[in-house]
Amino acid sequence: MRKLTALCLSLSCATPLAADPLHEALRRAVNDHTIPAVKTFDAEAAALADVAAQNCLPEAVKPAYHAAFDAWMGLQHLHMGPVEANGRILAIAFWPDKKGMTPRTLASYIADEDPIIEDPAEFATASIAVRGLFALEYMLYDAQFDGYEDGSYACHLVQAIAHDLGRMAHEIDQEWTMPDGFADTLLKAGDAAQPLYLSETESVQALYTMLTSSLENTKLQRIGRPIGTFERPRPTRAEARRSERSARNVMLQLEAARDLARKLAPGEMPLAEAAFAKTIALTEELDDPAFEGAEDPMGRLKIEIIGQNIDTILGHLANEVGAPLGVSAGFNASDGD
Amino acid sequence: MKRMMTAVIAATLPAAAFAGEAEVVTTYADIAHAGYEDSLIKAKELDAAIEAFVAAPSEATLAAAKTAWIESRVPYQQTEVYRFGNAIVDDWEGKVNAWPLDEGLIDYVDGSYGGATDENPLAALNVIANPTFELSGETVDASEITPELLADTLHEADEVEANVATGYHAIEFLLWGQDLHGTEHGAGERPYTDYLTGDDCTGGNCERRAEYLLAATDLLVSDLEWITEQWAEGGAARAAVVDDPAAGITAMLTGMGSLSYGEQAGERMKLGLMLNDPEEEHDCFSDNTHNSHFYDGMGVHNVYFGKYTRVDGTQVKGESLADLLAEKDADLAAELGSALDKSVAELAEIKAAAEAGFSYDQMLARGNEAGEELIMSAVDALVAQTREIERAVSVLTEADIEVEGSDSLDNPDAVFE
């Protein structure tokens, strides 16, 4: 770790003033955005685990699956700290699955009745293809898997997946909010017990990177994959299409990004607000939950336009949030996709 | 597979003119040229070894071709750091190093491979066994397997990135075959008899297989010739960085950071580990993944320290990014240097274990704690060095760094027609 002396040359290392906009942005983003996000996901994933333990059958588990997925959409853009640690983000949401590993691996576990599901600590080391929300989606919604009976191996597998999600969500919450946890790592920056970000500027830059890269991912992946090209649209590549969450995930991601942007923005962000409102409205009006409309040129165009509006949002965020804070996006985990 | 994203650093403010910037980007271009030229030299050796193998298939000639392939990867992997940040390289590299691939497109596969998938209707096409086939509703004449057929028709056919018909990994598959050992020790075991003619031929269609292998190797050589020219005096890739040294510096940092974090630490290493999937190995047929990871790390190290050891042992060196950064912030320059040293050391530990017989696919096995520790230590080191690179970006570029995918920037049609 670098010596703090080198950092204290920067303004952000000076004693924070009450009116320091960067300092205030950091406090708002961490306390009013990230902490509620990890708490909500913890609560909903715990509820999912409880429901599945009571009754593993698809119709019983589905509402809790949706609630947990909704909560995840409020957190998944924070690809940092405890969300990233131990590969949790991949274990919670392994998508896109370009090689169809999820159904293949689930089928092989079920055929072999792999005993790994009996011990939660062991299951935590299982392939991410049989863990998390997307494995659960296959179990609950795909005709190849959803006909299982109470007490069967598949039933116990569903319970194991739900329990494992609850475990990870709780670990994220604890590691984020405990004293000297990740919230403090962000807030205290160079003064943290184990500094990761050396100044408040670096903490804010990290959060700003999450904001912009999550929107870019929504455009490139959630929208870009199903629309493919004009000649070759790919509706079966839509995210969570089996549970008809493709459009909902886009909308919830936009809402999560908007909330983070509002917390980070040092002042008003009228153009970004308008762009968010328009893009969210377009998504709501789509009436195409699984992006099946991507197959047809008009339907595809409507989805494509949502992506174009995300570009507009990004431009306004740079001007209304990034520039006034003096930060810009850094490297993100999607470089290389 | 991935047609990877380029990270682009868009300078929104005029960068300050540093003493030595021009020399630093010249070193960068010189190393690129040497690296691609070395790749070309080794690809020509590979081509010669493959011609000798196909002319007289035997255990010995197959082994010689495999050795040439392994050697050819050493310089090439050290150039991967040039992909991100240099649009010319990023637009080109999918032809030579695309990965992962649905190898059933090319040749016979084991029954466990499965057939066409939701993602890829051509996943089990087997062009070697099929002189004609349907592609997007049209009949393709593949009676003769030519470089043009591979490059223009088969590669990324049906707009599916896993349809990798050309480059190092297609050649690797044709030399080694599928690795059916799972997470046990062992690579692909294609017999040399897959290339014998007449009744001795195994696997069927031996002549077409040989035709494919020769065509793919010819293409590799010509593609490497092209990129080497781009980095020579007067070449477009060199001009892009030396004519605008500030842009060159951002290209250097972008390449280092994007390869380290999103690509190597994330997509190539962590994802494969968490899937326990040996097919997620970068060089999965040959079990050469430990080397491909190590030389990727070396490439980042080379760019920062302005020094590259060529395949003939000579060195290309000059004024470096490390020197430039040290002038502005000596502490940061030292921290970044140590972070890169640490990553190379961690990657060397993986390489050492693999070369001693604990192969990379064994490291990926479920519950293999030693393997997980080796891989995750390297991942953590790569992530840590990325943070130092970000700090160097803010010191050296005084610019907005904006990292985006090349699919949107370089080829908007890929996303939005």
**Chain B touched by A159 (CB under 8 Å):** no
Structure confidence by residue, pLDDT tens digits, B229-288: 999 999 999 999 999 999 999 999 999 999 999 889 988 899 999 998 887 788 999 999
Distances (CA, A) of B241 to A218, B92, B226, B247, B402: 32, 17, 18, 6, 18
pLDDT number for residue B116: 80
Residue B53 lies in a domain: yes
Flag whether pLDDT at B53 surpasses 80: yes
Residue A257 lies in a domain: yes
pLDDT number for residue B277: 85
The reply to whether A218 and A317 lie within a common domain is yes
Domain holding A114: CATH number? 1.20.1420.20
Flag whether pLDDT at A92 surpasses 50: yes
Residues of B (221-260) whose Cβ lies below 8 Å from A = 257-260
Flag whether pLDDT at A170 surpasses 90: yes
How high does pLDDT run on average in chain A? 93
Question: Containing H/E element for B139?
Answer: strand B138-141
In DSSP notation, A225-274 reads HHH--SSS--GGGSTTTTTT-HHHHHHHHHHHHHHHHHHH-SS--HHHHH
Number of domains in chain A: 2
What's the number of CA atoms in the CB half-sphere (13 Å) around residue A208?
A: 31
Range of the domain at B71: 21-414
pLDDT number for residue B399: 53
Percent of chain B with pLDDT over 70: 91
The reply to whether A170 and A205 lie within a common domain is no
Residue B14 lies in a domain: no
**Chain B touched by A63 (CB under 8 Å):** no
Residue B350 lies in a domain: yes
Q: Which of A198, A212, A336 sits opposite B266 (nearest CB)?
A: A336
Residue B343 lies in a domain: yes
The reply to whether A214 and A299 lie within a common domain is yes
Residue B15 lies in a domain: no
Structure confidence by residue, pLDDT tens digits, A235-282: 999 999 999 999 999 999 999 999 999 999 999 999 999 999 999 999
Q: What is the pTM of this model?
A: 0.89
Work out the average pLDDT over B337-342.
98
Q: Which residues in chain A are closer than 8 Å to B408, comparing Cβ atoms?
A: 216, 219-220
The reply to whether A229 and A133 lie within a common domain is no
Confidence of residue B415 (pLDDT cuts 50, 70, 90): very low
Nearest CA in chain B to A98: B119
Residue A21 lies in a domain: no
Domain holding A281: CATH number? 1.20.120
Q: Which residues in chain A are closer than 8 Å to B114, comparing Cβ atoms?
A: 104
Flag whether pLDDT at A77 surpasses 60: yes
How high does pLDDT run on average in chain B? 90
Range of the domain at A158: 37-177
Flag whether pLDDT at B372 surpasses 70: yes
Residue A172 lies in a domain: yes
The reply to whether A210 and A286 lie within a common domain is yes
Confidence of residue B19 (pLDDT cuts 50, 70, 90): low
Residue A191 lies in a domain: no
Question: In one letter, which amino acid is B263?
Answer: E
What's the number of CA atoms in the CB half-sphere (13 Å) around residue B375?
A: 31
Residue A17 lies in a domain: no
Work out the average pLDDT over B406-412.
32
**0.90 surpassed by complex ipTM:** no
Q: Which of A177, A209, A228 is the last residue of a domain?
A: A177
pLDDT number for residue B404: 34
Specify whether the CB–CB gap between B72 and B45 falls below 8 A.
Answer: yes
Is A304–B416 a contact, with Cβ atoms under 8 angstroms apart? yes
Structure confidence by residue, pLDDT tens digits, B120-169: 889 999 999 999 999 888 999 999 999 999 999 999 999 899 999 999 99
- The whole-angstrom separation of Cα B119 and Cα A98 is 7
Q: Which residues in chain A are closer than 8 Å to B260, comparing Cβ atoms?
A: 331
- The whole-angstrom separation of Cα B315 and Cα A29 is 49
pLDDT number for residue A336: 61
- The whole-angstrom separation of Cα A160 and Cα A128 is 13
Residue A18 lies in a domain: no
Residue A228 lies in a domain: yes
pLDDT number for residue B111: 86
The reply to whether A167 and A266 lie within a common domain is no
Q: Which residues in chain B are closer than 8 Å to A104, comparing Cβ atoms?
A: 114
Residue B305 lies in a domain: yes
- The whole-angstrom separation of Cα B303 and Cα B27 is 9
Percent of chain B with pLDDT over 90: 81
Flag whether pLDDT at B68 surpasses 70: yes
Domain holding B145: CATH number? 1.20.1420.20
The reply to whether A152 and A277 lie within a common domain is no
Flag whether pLDDT at B344 surpasses 70: yes
pLDDT number for residue B189: 96
Residue B272 lies in a domain: yes
Nearest CA in chain B to A323: B400
Q: Which residues in chain B are closer than 8 Å to A129, comparing Cβ atoms?
A: 275, 277
Is B415–A205 a contact, with Cβ atoms under 8 angstroms apart? no
Q: Which of B2, B162, B402 sits opposite A328 (nearest CB)?
A: B402
Output the six-digit token pair for B238.
């060199």
The reply to whether A164 and A61 lie within a common domain is yes
The reply to whether A218 and A142 lie within a common domain is no
The reply to whether A162 and A105 lie within a common domain is yes
Number of domains in chain B: 1
Q: Exposed, middle or buried: residue B132 (CB in 10 Å: 0-12, 13-18, 19+)?
A: exposed
pLDDT number for residue A321: 97
* Beta carbon pairs, A and B, within 8 Å: 151
Distances (CA, A) of A25 to A34, A37, A82, A203, B28: 12, 17, 21, 10, 39
